[in-house]
Amino acid sequence: MSDWTGFVLAVLGLLAVPGPTNTLMAASGAQRGVRQSLHLLVGELGGYAIAITVWIEVVGAVAAREPMVAVAAKLIAVAFLLWSAWKLWRNAGRADLGARGITLSRVFATTLINPKALVFAFAIFPGVGFVERLPYDAVFAALVIGTAIGWMSLGALAQRGAAGWLNSARVEQITAVALAVFGTVLAVQTLQFLG
């Protein structure tokens, strides 16, 4: 994906989907409020920066010699997205976010191993060199910050009960559908590359 509009929409689409990091951000917003949760942004940004760079620079270097490595990585990402959609749908509304202790190091570690980084690296970021990717990295960081604050705010809002219909089960079911759609689109694009 190389055009800016497509890049921004794809990043926002994937960042908006509940996942392990977003769950922690929402839980922190519910527990502490947005202002007291802002320091967690450092953990999320650091985790994504390291994970995406490793996927692109290390795995991407191998994929340049062996194109099927990138295809395999995308298919793994598809499997993760579909599995996550199924798991999220099945467990909608069951997670006890309030019982989780949320620290900067936990957010960092969770984001570092978050498979969304694989999707960002191989399906969303353009296939350009490190220096040419820096503007994309900056836009990505801004979108991460905005989305994380959105998740914190959603958690705080849900905690106050002001959301009414927006309970965790509904949010998770809607996101499960979004994950499945995103995974299906990625699968179709990947399979078209093979054909």
Domain contains 3:
no
* Residue 1, CA distances (Å) to 4, 120, 158, 182, 186 in order: 8, 10, 35, 14, 12
Residue 10 lies in a domain: no
In a domain, 7, yes or no: no
CA distance readout (Å), 150 to 11, 106, 147: 14, 19, 5
Range of the domain at 165: 18-194
pLDDT tens track for 106-161:
889 888 878 788 889 888 998 888 899 999 999 999 999 999 999 999 888 877 76
- Tokens 């060199």 belong to 129
| Number of domain units in the chain | 1
Does residue 8 fall inside a structural domain? no
| Weakest-pLDDT range from 55-59, 93-97, 182-186 | 93-97
121 domain residue, yes or no: yes
Q: Is residue 5 part of a domain?
A: no
pTM, rounded to two decimals: 0.72
